[in-house]
Structure formats: structure tokens, C-alpha cells
Amino acid sequence: MPLSWNEIRQNALSFSKEWETESSEDAEAQSFWNEFFKVFGVSRRRVASFEKPVKKLDGRDGFIDLLWKGVLVVEHKSRGRNLDRAYKQATDYFAGLKERDLPRYVLVSDFAHFRLYDLDENKTAEFPLKDLHKNVKHFAFIAGYQTQKITEQAEEVNVKAANRLGQLHDQLKDTGYTGHSLEVLLVRMLFCLFAEYTSIFEKNQFREYLEQRTSEDGSDLGMHLTQLFQVLNTALDKRQKTLDEQLADFPYVNGRLFEETLSVASFDKKMRETLLDACAVDWSQISPAIFGSLFQSIMDKQARRNLGAHYTREANILKALKPLFLDDLHEELEACGQKSAELIKFQNKLRNVRILDPACGCGNFLVISYRELRLLELEVLKRLHKKETNRLLDVKGLFFVDVDQFYGIEIEEFPAQIAQVALWLTDHQMNMKVSEEFGQYFARLPLKKSPHIVYGNALRINWEDVAKPAELTYIVGNPPFGGKQYQSKEQKAELIAVFDGVKNASDLDYVAAWYRKAADFISNNKMIHVAFVSTNSITQGEQVGVLWPDLAKRGVKIHFAHRTFQWSSEARGKAAVHCVIIGFSLSEIRQKSIYEYDKPTSEPHKIQAQQINAYLVDAVSVFLNKRREPITAQAPLIEFGSMPNDGGNLLLTPQEKDALLNQEPHARNWLRPIMGSEEFINGIERWCLWLAGLDPASLRGMPKVAERVERVKEQREQSTRGATSQLAKFPSLFGEIRQPKCQYLAIPKTSSESRVYIPMAFLQPTVIANTELFTISGATLYHFAILSSVMHMAWVRNVCGRLKSDYRYSAGIVYNNFPWPEETDKQHQKIEKAAQGVLDARTKYPQSTLADLYNPTTMPPDLVKAHDALDKAVDEAYGKTSFKNEAERVAFLFTLYQKITSPLALETKNSKPKKTTKKKAV
Ligand SMILES: C[S@@+](CC[C@H](N)C(=O)[O-])C[C@H]1O[C@@H](n2cnc3c(N)ncnc32)[C@H](O)[C@@H]1O
């Protein structure tokens, strides 16, 4: 157990006094260092040895004055000698050390001065002997007070640590030691490695035991580990008196971590070496929040190749935790000031926080929540006891926040185990922080309290069996996203069962089930607040109309929302996931907040909101459902393009077209350009055989074309879909034909989110639109104008579905629900004129594709101006001259939508909307 800092300072003063006159390296150096270690309550003999022989960089033999393997090299000189040289000499020895024995610290001294190099941090501390008592904290690593630095840069050591255990995992697995036993063994080894770096065990205790007591060929290592685990699971007074002394020195850990009896693993020389290598990582520096996920991914060789890309960044976790409860707690602490009664009340509140993560993985959300609560409690206690000298305090009785305040559900066993251990490791790291702060060693050993992590399926178990609603305060996590097409049969069934009769529940992402389960759970305690990270698709497109009316019926109110942002930017070669975070409860709160992102990768900015609807907009609550026809008479009908359903046989690249025409020039009459979003926006040339009206004799006269038709027939016949095989009867035709007969407005289905406007254009009926284009037959300049306006784009951006982050325009949700303006004739004319201005501006750049014209960087200034004028004219038609921002614009549209649709809702379901008004065709 480490000495208190006060004791260490006292010892340091005596030490400086005793050694102030010593000068000869040879005579007294070893006693000097023995005494030096004693200052920190550590026996030098236990951790380090003198005069370690080693081959130097130049190949000659040398002797390290003092070596603590993997931690410290000391080089000692006579008084007044050059310390730079001493440092050089110390580092020359590194060449002769095993990788795992390389030290993090180099300490040089001439009795009168100390100079300590921290090679990891690239820092140096230098001071005279007489000031040792003022500098003892530099030697926290000797005293056993080393605390984990809470930085995101901790990644390197975490990755290194996970890799070492990953190797061991592979080696054990290759020998046939697998499954549950392997997982438990690895989690236990993780604990032991961490323990010897953080004063749970004595320094080097685990490593020494392995090095000294197991044979080099590794054959008895498994047996020794088994025995050690038994010891760690046995209270001191229950241990056999004859127990080996070295084993008896290990503490009682409890917490049931070492309870289960595992089959004994067989190790070999290489595996023993790997474990010893793992001992060389500084385990005090691992971050349980990050390490858990890394550790989990070591199980999977594929995932390990990209280690570091698989964990959730702490900053992202805090995006959920801060608005859910941390921001409020920090504010409350500030309000307490230095008032003892308030601080004590606040500490009680901290103890009563209870958090459930119902898809906890390795427990990262719980770990960070716990760490933050402990930091708040530490601050409370610092304020409460700042006047008392630390000597009079008994730190043990002061701290109450503990791991039993955390609950988790996880479907995989290994991460569930890691989550449990990660919370204990965090507990210990925070205890070390307390020890450092109060100068008193504080540890909770044996472990008495346990986190409540349940290994099970959150959608099948009753959450009330995990945590009591009356006791719980928060639910948080990032449940599995699971898009509609990516769910397994079982997951789909679970989703449908959770939504119990809700129409179209099978269209929802898997994550939606956690919302419904949480809403049901908190109906038993309306004080519980919830926040989930989710795919943004539950707030867009079709899913809104399925999920949110159901939640609203249960009284769910959104309190805060992070709008779409990129969740994991690290994953190399992996598509980034676009997420939202939604905080909600069944009660109202005064201050609601929306976190906006200019781009999915940018930093959020917070705005206050009156109300937050399912689209995460500060606007009236509406849920858009798919409609077959537009809600306003001004909007003409929109259609999908035609679907070839031809296995590619009716489609041709320009080269294929030319080759065909070389052989069969008559085919020219039956070839048409065809476009989807890609071709339309990027000006890509594609052709199709459009054989409507072709007589059999002409087809016979074009054998190459006939061959293609034959292949369409075969392909359709082979289909298992009844409708497709029926189409085999008409092999010369597209499967579904919806080609307009007159000029039409084309709207691409998919368009990059980086564009301010989705580019639209008029096309002639000879250009075939495939299903990646929407078509509006006979559209006028006015229709083009409204749909190309910033008003419509604001609507699109907020209600459309997405493909990754690209806009997915839709007829049923986006177009048919859009509220058109009721313009005057004058406004109508002005809008048409402005629309013509946009088309005219485009024609000045005949070489440019729509992609070029609408790329925000390359968009020509006159086209920008033309759009500005158009936007202004359209705004006027809505009776507005300006909007503060897009949020206000969308709120306006939602209100208008509600005005238009509320009377409609009263009409009978089957009433038809009015027909399109005829306007001048272009
Ligand atoms: C997106 S991960 C989040 C885990 C962790 N918070 C993180 O950031 O790494 C979702 C977790 O939910 C777990 N999970 C998936 N389906 C589950 C279910 N039906 N019940 C409980 N947990 C589930 C997965 O194993 C995974 O650990």
C-alpha cells in the first residue's frame, strides 16, 4: 500500500539531510538508492537490481547502475560530474535490453542533483537534492500513485496493450483453448496486468511470479495461473497456512471475477514470452472506455488489422452524456459554491444517480459516466475538506459514488464481461486519483460492490429485471443501428414483437426498438431521462411516420437532439456512419436544445428550441406519411422513371452502341439515350433499346438486337418473382414503362448533400428516364421554379431519406407532402421570369455538366445570382421576405403543412385532391 504524500515528503526531507555531504559514487551509491526507494515506501530489492550486465551500443560490456525492468534506468555519478554524459551512458545501454525491458524513465544523479527523463512524455525534471521533498510527485510511478491521464491521445498505449493480448488470444485459440474459457482467462489476465501497475498488486508482482515461478518452456504456466486465480478469489483468513509465500502475498480481489473454475490452459515457450511482453506495457495508462472496445476487437483478426478504428470516441459519448445529465450536474455544483450543506446534498444526489445502458458493449458509456460522476464527487470533497489537513481525514469514509450505480445489457458474453471489469478498473483509477489528491492511499479491495451487467438480449428480456424503474435516473447508449435490409430474421421478429401491432414496424431500423422499450420502461417513472445515439434514418423519410406517432402516443417528448453528424471518422476503408443523438423523457422541460452541424464532420453549435419535432427541427409536431398524390392542387403528379428489368441486356454503353450500329445500322431508329441520377447530373452518355412499336420482321432483320431480346426473355424467365417471370412474355419492352409522352421535368433521385440545390432540368420525351429519375410530365417554368427553390430544398434536406448522407428524393414523402405557395398572378409571373433566368444562366456554359454547375465551388456567379433572385421570388409567394436561417424556414413549412393537411384529415380518407392546374408548358 503506498505511503501518503505527507509521509513521503517527510521521508524525503530526512533523506536529503542524510545525504547532503556524500560525494563518492563507488563508496555509497547503492546505499543511496536503497534509501531513495525507501523514501517512497518501496523496497528497492523488490523492483530493481544493481549492476545489471549488458552489451552496449558499441558492442562492449557494460553494467547498468540500477535497472527496474520496463520502468527505470538509473545512472549514478560522483558529485559534480556531468549529468548529460550520465544520460548518454544510460541510453547506450538500451541496445542491450530486451524490448519489453526498455524503461520509460531515466534518472541520473550526482548525489547533489537529480535529473529525471520521462521518455514517453518527452519531459525532463531537474532539481537539487535539498528540494527532493518538493519534487516527490515526479516519482509517483515509484510510490504507486500513477494515475491515468485522461486524454484522447491514450490511443497508442491502448492499441499496444490490445495487440499484445490479441497475440496471446490467437496463440491460445490456435491450441484449441477457445470460447467462454478463453474469454474469461483473457479478462482475468487483463485485470492482473492492470493490477500490478496500479497498486492493486505490489509492483511487478504478477510479472515476477511468472518470471520466477514458471518454467521457461511455459509448460506449467497454465497451472500457476489457475492457482493464482484461486488465491485471488480467497479471503486472506481463508487461505491455507501452507500456501506458497509468493502467492500468499497477492491480495484478495473478490468481485466474483476469479470465482469460476476454468479448465487449465496449456502454454508453451512462445506464449509465455507473449504474456511477459504484455507485462511490459504500462497498464496504468489504459483507458477502460477505449480499451474495452479494442480488447473486444482483438477477438476478430479482421477487425484487429484496423485496430483503433473500432472504438467510440470519448467526445462522441460525451455528446450524449453532457446534455443528458452532466451539464446540469456541473451547473448544480457551481451553484453549491463552497456551502457545505449544499455540497453534501449534491454528493447524495450523485450517489443516487443510476444509469442503464441497454446495449452496453464493453461499457464505454457507463465507464465515462462513472468517471465523470467520480470527478464531480472528488470536487465536492475537495471543497468540503479544503481547510482540513489531509492527515486528519479518513478518506475511506468520504466517497460514496460506486460501480453498483451502473446497469448494462449486452447480447455478447465477452463484451459484457469486459464491461464489468472496465467499471472496476475505472473505479480503481479514480481511487488512485483520490489517493493522489488527498495524499492517502484509497482502494476498494476486496471488491465489494459490482456493476449490474446482464448478458442477454435487450429486446427479449424485461428491463425491470435488470434495474428497478423507481431507482433508475438515466438510460443511455448507442444500440445497434441495423437498417431494415441488414436485420437478421430474428432481429426483424424482435423488432416487430416490440412494436406489437404498429403498422409498418418492419420498415424501422433495429435501433428503433430501444426507443419503444425505453418509452415503456419510463412510463413507470417519468423522472427517468433517456438519450440514444441512432442512425439518422429514424428521423427522416418513411421511418418518421412509423416510429414517432407511436412514441408520441406514449408521451415521449424530445429534450435535446444532435442533428446528423459523422459518428466514426477513424474507420479506414469503412463507410462513415451518420448519426443523431436524441434525448427524451415523458416529462416536459423548459430548456430544449438542438445541436446543429454545418457538415457531418464539423463541430456542433447549440441553439435553444421551443419544441423539437421528429425531424429534429424546432417546429410543430408533424409526421409525414407516404402519399400517393400531392397535398396541394398546385403540384402536378410526379412519376417514377421506367424500369428495364432486363439484366442489362437492353442497356448499352456508347461503345456498345457504336459496335451495334456498325453491324446493324437500322438499330439507330430504336436506340434512345437513357438517364438516371448519375447520367443526368454528370452528363454521362448511356443508351437503351426502346423497342415499343417494333414489328417482328424488323426485329428479325436485326439479329444482334434479337439476341439481346432473347437474353432478356431468358433472364426474366429465370426470376423467382412471379411478376418478373410474367414479363418474359414481353421481352422487347422495359419491365415497367412510365416514359412521359411530352417534355418533362427530371428530378434526380439521389444527389450529393454538398449541393445547395438538387439540379433539375427539362428533358424531351425521347430521353428515357430510368427509375433513378423522377419525372413530371408537362411541368411548367413555375413548377421548375418552386422545386428548384431554396424553400423546397430546405424541405428536402429535412424530411428526405438519405443514402449515406446524399439526398434521396421521394415522391411519397418529399414531393407529395410539400406545401406549395398560394401565389398571385403577379408573383407567378415574377417566379417564371426568375426561373427563365436560371435556365438562361445555365445555357451560357454548354460544356458544363449539372454537377459542374451545381458544385458549390465551381457554380458560376451568374447562376448563383439567378438562383438568389428565384429564391427571393418564391419566398415572396409564401408571403415572406426573409428567414433568419434554414431552421426558421423549415418551421414555417411545417406549420403551413399542418394548416393544409388538418382540414384534409377531417375529410373522408378517399377524397381525391384537386387536379393539376394547367399552366404554360415550356
Ligand atoms: C453500436 S454497439 C455499442 C456498444 C458500445 N457502446 C460502443 O460504443 O462500442 C451496440 C452493442 O449492442 C449489442 N447488441 C446488439 N443486439 C443486442 C440486443 N438485442 N440486446 C443487447 N445488446 C445487443 C452489440 O453486441 C454491441 O455491443
Give mean pLDDT, residues 78-98.
Answer: 90
In DSSP terms, which residues pair with 321 in a beta bridge?
A: none
Centre of ligand 1 to C-alpha 458, Å, is 9
Q: Pocket of ligand 1, candidates 307, 356, 410, 494: which has the most ligand atoms within 8 Å of its Cβ, to mutate?
A: 410
**Residue 471: pLDDT over 50:** yes
Written as nine digits, the cell of 308 is: 483503433
pLDDT, residue 301, reads 65
Instruction: Report which secondary-structure segment, H or E, holds 289.
Output: helix 288-297
Centre of ligand 1 to C-alpha 294, Å, is 14
pLDDT, residue 260, reads 92
Burial class of residue 799 in the structure, from the number of CB atoms within 10 Å of its CB (0-12 exposed, 13-18 middle, 19+ buried): buried
Sign of dihedral through CA atoms 319, 320, 324, 326?
A: negative
Pairing of strands 801-803, 113-118: unpaired
Q: Is 612 left (phi over 0), alpha (psi -120 to 50) or beta?
A: beta
Which atom of ligand 1 is least distant from the CA of 293? 9
Computed on alpha carbons and rounded to an integer, the radius of gyration of the chain in Å comes to: 35
Q: In three state form, how does the secondary structure of 545-612 look? A: HHHHHHHHHCCCEEEEEEEEEECCCCCCCCCCCEEEEEEEECCCCCCEEEEEECCCCCCEEEEEECCC
pLDDT digits (tens, 9 = 90+) for 616-640: 999 999 999 999 999 999 899 999 9
Q: Which long-range contacts (CB under 8 A, 24 or more apart) does 326-334 make?
A: 326/372, 329/373, 329/376, 330/376, 333/376, 333/379, 333/380
Neighbours of 598 (CB within 10 A): 9
Centre of ligand 1 to C-alpha 358, Å, is 8
Lowest mean pLDDT among 143-157, 340-354, 582-596: 143-157
Burial class of residue 689 in the structure, from the number of CB atoms within 10 Å of its CB (0-12 exposed, 13-18 middle, 19+ buried): buried
Q: Pocket of ligand 1, candidates 368, 412, 489, 516: which has the most ligand atoms within 8 Å of its Cβ, to mutate?
A: 412
**Residue 669 to residue 650: CA distance in whole angstroms:** 14
Centre of ligand 1 to C-alpha 308, Å, is 18
Residue 392 vs residue 504, higher pLDDT: 504
Give mean pLDDT, residues 565-584.
Answer: 72
Listing DSSP states for 311-346 in one string gives S--HHHHHHHHIIIIIHHHHHHHHHHTT-HHHHHHH
Which atom of ligand 1 is least distant from the CA of 479? 10
In DSSP terms, which residues pair with 127 in a beta bridge?
A: 114
Centre of ligand 1 to C-alpha 359, Å, is 4
Q: If you take atom 12 of ligand 1, which residue's CA is the nearest one?
A: 359
Burial class of residue 335 in the structure, from the number of CB atoms within 10 Å of its CB (0-12 exposed, 13-18 middle, 19+ buried): exposed
Q: If you take atom 18 of ligand 1, which residue's CA is the nearest one?
A: 457
Strand boundaries in 142-252, DSSP class E: none
**Residue 334: pLDDT over 80:** yes
pLDDT, residue 196, reads 86
Residue 461 vs residue 158, higher pLDDT: 461
Q: Pocket of ligand 1, candidates 296, 478, 534: which has the most ligand atoms within 8 Å of its Cβ, to mutate?
A: 478
**Residue 832 to residue 472: CA distance in whole angstroms:** 59
Nearest to 839 by CA among 810, 799, 870: 870
Please report where in the chains the cell 439484366 appears, as a residue: 647
- Ligand 1 shell residues, CB under 6 Å: 293, 312, 359-361, 364-365, 409-412, 415, 457-459, 477-480
pLDDT, residue 907, reads 45
Half-sphere exposure of 780 (CA within 13 A, CB side): 16
Give mean pLDDT, residues 810-822.
Answer: 97
Written as nine digits, the cell of 917 is: 392546374
Which atom of ligand 1 is least distant from the CA of 292? 9
**Residue 148: pLDDT over 70:** no
pLDDT, residue 303, reads 59
**Residue 39 to residue 25: CA distance in whole angstroms:** 20
Centre of ligand 1 to C-alpha 550, Å, is 24
pLDDT over 90 percentage in the chain: 66
Listing DSSP states for 830-842 in one string gives HHHHHHHHHHHHH
Centre of ligand 1 to C-alpha 416, Å, is 10
Centre of ligand 1 to C-alpha 258, Å, is 25
**Residue 651: pLDDT over 50:** yes
- Cis, bond preceding 856 (omega within 30 deg of 0): no
Q: Pocket of ligand 1, candidates 356, 360, 459: which has the most ligand atoms within 8 Å of its Cβ, to mutate?
A: 360
pLDDT digits (tens, 9 = 90+) for 653-669: 999 999 999 999 999 99
pLDDT, residue 698, reads 93
Q: Residue type at 64?
A: I
pLDDT digits (tens, 9 = 90+) for 122-142: 889 999 998 898 888 889 888
Q: What is the mean pLDDT of the chain?
A: 90
Q: If you take atom 19 of ligand 1, which residue's CA is the nearest one?
A: 457
**Residue 40 to residue 9: CA distance in whole angstroms:** 9
- The alpha carbon of 871 is separated from its chain's Cα centroid by a whole number of angstroms, namely 38
pLDDT, residue 309, reads 53
Within 40-178, where are the H helices? Answer: 44-47, 83-92, 140-143, 155-174
Give mean pLDDT, residues 514-536.
Answer: 96
Q: Is 551 left (phi over 0), alpha (psi -120 to 50) or beta?
A: alpha
Q: Which residues have CB under 8 Å from 159's CB, separation 6+? A: 294, 307, 308
Q: If you take atom 13 of ligand 1, which residue's CA is the nearest one?
A: 359
